[in-house]
Chain A
């Protein structure tokens, strides 16, 4: 049974225009999932549906066997699905890092000694243990966002949902956060659902869902998705930079292979080409 399963989820804020239409998807334990779509495609609403912040008008959400429509299991779902939001400033509750990380476990009624252990674990997992007694206001955007991730990890979630969590960060901060998330996925087997409009964040994913106008219009591995270039363009999405460069080079007659997506892939192909000449 999948860890998270959505069946025909439909949701509207005003009961007129559906923001999410008939979305069905399933996520297995340990997977790295990317949901992409341009602004207004319903991405963030989907994140809120996943953790029960909003309730679907129809359809069914199941997380680890708990039914999202059952009011009593709301807490169980929130415990299992941790969401990191876009603006790091607006999700930190306390003025000291360790107090903020403690907020989640405190809410769950975790005993004191155990909270201390969880803070150790969470801060170590995001590489911020040195800042335990600092004030978040003095940290950089990437560091703040890592604290926000630690705050969610302290709840010991099964699934980490990143709702455009890198959108407000500079390239350095984005890299910090993405590295931490990838490490969590690989080493701690945390299931990750990253919701983004940055195409290059999709490349590491096991599975990609393309969302447009509240509907899942494409599903597949990154390679499969990026093959549908024209489809993506018509949805207002851009290919990763390396793929665009490779395409343009091919147009100019450079004999590059198909399916180049990453900078490394492009570099390799170009080197191979040079070796041939």
Chain B
């Protein structure tokens, strides 16, 4: 119950760990854009993205298996979209025909393309959460959103809410575990029955959890008040983020990837048009 599968922070000291969280966030956004820019016929583009992810993983010191595990959570989604493509894409040359199901070469190609796209995207995103602690992540987002202060967007409060939410995930998971055990001890059955029955069985878990969360929130508010919290006014920050040579290298590599992908796109586009 305690293990959250998707990209939980992997503490280590590495090139990627030591990069500025803001640079990493922007790099991941740029990377996802790059993955989406690659067209289905450009295997070179995917190869470039894959190479990038491999290098980044190697530089992060995170075991490769751990990075791959991040796909587990959305494996179902990947397979589903691949199946939909294979069986219901009716364009292209028909390879197999069986009743109303037609498998075409274009369908297969599209399926492979979608699997590659989602996998690359998820691996890249999880690399961010694997190498950046929740606090750094929240601080990074706060710093990146700072210009929004100008539009009266409560940036500090937003970041604080986010980091408190992250802080309470393990606490609430523990509590869920305890409540499930307590309800089981009272004879609750969470295993048998269909999906709806199982969902209904969770109500006696969710309601106590909700109530205790409110109590926790109340107590946390008191504790924060007691420690002189009064919003972002006159507040200092202990942790300061600063850019280093690592970030420069990261930005350069990222720029290289984007340029490459865009170049492939343009030449591909010209080849089709001309």
As a 0/1 sequence over residues 68 to 109 of chain A, the CB contacts with chain B under 8 angstroms (1 = contact) are 000000010011001101010111111110110011111111
Identify which of residues 229-274 in chain B touch chain A, using a CB-to-CB cut-off of 8 Å: 229-230, 234-240
B260 CB → nearest A CB, Å: 37
Let me know if A89 and B171 touch, CB within 8 A.
yes
Let me know if A91 and B135 touch, CB within 8 A.
no
> When chains A and B are docked, how far (Å) is the Cα of A49 from the Cα of B234?
25
Let me know if A95 and B216 touch, CB within 8 A.
no
Q: Of the candidates B222, B230, B239, which one forms a contact with A75 in the assembled complex, judged by CB atoms under 8 Å apart?
A: B230
Q: Of the candidates A83, A106, A148, which one forms a contact with B237 in the assembled complex, judged by CB atoms under 8 Å apart?
A: A106
Number of B interface residues in the complex (CB < 8 A): 29
Chain A residues whose C-beta falls within 8 Å of the C-beta of B226 in the assembled complex:
51, 53, 78, 82-83, 85, 152
Let me know if B228 and A78 touch, CB within 8 A.
yes
Task: List the A residue with the shortest CB-CB distance to B134.
Answer: A95
B205 CB → nearest A CB, Å: 19
Chain A residues whose C-beta falls within 8 Å of the C-beta of B229 in the assembled complex:
103, 107
Let me know if B216 and A109 touch, CB within 8 A.
no
Let me know if B225 and A112 touch, CB within 8 A.
no
Let me know if B225 and A109 touch, CB within 8 A.
no
Q: Of the candidates B135, B215, B230, which one forms a contact with A96 in the assembled complex, judged by CB atoms under 8 Å apart?
A: B135
Q: At the interface with chain A, which of B17-25, B55-63, B90-98, B159-167?
A: B159-167
Chain A binding site: helix, strand, loop or mixed by DSSP? helix
A51-B226, A93-B224 as given contacts; A106 in contact with B219, CB under 8 Å? no
Residue A46 at the chain B interface, CB threshold 8 Å: no
Q: Of the candidates B216, B222, B238, which one forms a contact with A53 in the assembled complex, judged by CB atoms under 8 Å apart?
A: B222
Identify which of residues 113-144 in chain B touch chain A, using a CB-to-CB cut-off of 8 Å: 133-135
Let me know if A155 and B237 touch, CB within 8 A.
no
Q: Of the candidates A51, A82, A89, which one forms a contact with B216 in the assembled complex, judged by CB atoms under 8 Å apart?
A: A89
> When chains A and B are docked, how far (Å) is the Cα of A148 from the Cα of B219?
13
Residue B152 at the chain A interface, CB threshold 8 Å: no
Tell me which of A96, A106, A109, A111 has the highest count of chain B C-beta atoms within 10 A of its own C-beta. Answer: A106
Residue A151 at the chain B interface, CB threshold 8 Å: yes
Chain B residues whose C-beta falls within 8 Å of the C-beta of A148 in the assembled complex:
223
A258 CB → nearest B CB, Å: 41
Chain A residues whose C-beta falls within 8 Å of the C-beta of B237 in the assembled complex:
106, 112
Q: Of the candidates B163, B220, B227, which one forms a contact with A155 in the assembled complex, judged by CB atoms under 8 Å apart?
A: B227
Let me know if B171 and A112 touch, CB within 8 A.
no
Residue B170 at the chain A interface, CB threshold 8 Å: yes
Residue A116 at the chain B interface, CB threshold 8 Å: yes
Residue A217 at the chain B interface, CB threshold 8 Å: no
Chain A residues whose C-beta falls within 8 Å of the C-beta of B170 in the assembled complex:
137
Chain A residues whose C-beta falls within 8 Å of the C-beta of B223 in the assembled complex:
83, 85, 90-91, 93, 148
Identify which of residues 25-59 in chain A touch chain B, using a CB-to-CB cut-off of 8 Å: 48, 51, 53
> When chains A and B are docked, how far (Å) is the Cα of A99 from the Cα of B134?
12
Chain A residues whose C-beta falls within 8 Å of the C-beta of B227 in the assembled complex:
78, 82, 103-104, 107, 151-152, 155
Task: List the A residue with the shortest CB-CB distance to B237.
Answer: A106
B97 CB → nearest A CB, Å: 56
Identify which of residues 106-128 in chain A touch chain B, using a CB-to-CB cut-off of 8 Å: 106-112, 115-116, 119
> When chains A and B are docked, how far (Å) is the Cα of A110 from the Cα of B237?
9
Identify which of residues 129-185 in chain A touch chain B, using a CB-to-CB cut-off of 8 Å: 137, 148, 151-152, 155
Let me know if B171 and A137 touch, CB within 8 A.
yes
Task: List the B residue with the shortest CB-CB distance to A135.
Answer: B170
Let me know if A111 and B167 touch, CB within 8 A.
no
A99-B135, A104-B228, A105-B238 as given contacts; A94 in contact with B167, CB under 8 Å? yes
> When chains A and B are docked, how far (Å) is the Cα of A221 from the Cα of B215?
36
A75-B230, A85-B219 as given contacts; A95 in contact with B135, CB under 8 Å? yes
- The 6 listed contacts between A and B (C-beta, < 8 Å) are A53-B225, A85-B219, A93-B164, A115-B238, A119-B238, A155-B227
- Hey, which bits of chain A sit against chain B, CB under 8 A? 48, 51, 53, 75, 78-79, 82-83, 85, 87, 89-96, 98-99, 102-112, 115-116, 119, 137, 148, 151-152, 155
- Hey, which bits of chain B sit against chain A, CB under 8 A? 133-135, 163-164, 166-167, 170-171, 215-216, 219-220, 222-230, 234-240
Given contacts A105-B236, A107-B227, 20 further A-B contacts (CB under 8 A): A48-B222, A75-B228, A75-B230, A79-B228, A83-B226, A85-B223, A89-B216, A91-B223, A93-B220, A95-B166, A99-B239, A104-B228, A106-B237, A108-B228, A109-B234, A109-B235, A112-B236, A112-B240, A115-B238, A152-B227
Q: Which 10 A-B pairs have the closest CB atoms?
A: A91-B223, A102-B238, A90-B219, A104-B227, A109-B234, A137-B170, A107-B228, A95-B167, A83-B226, A115-B238
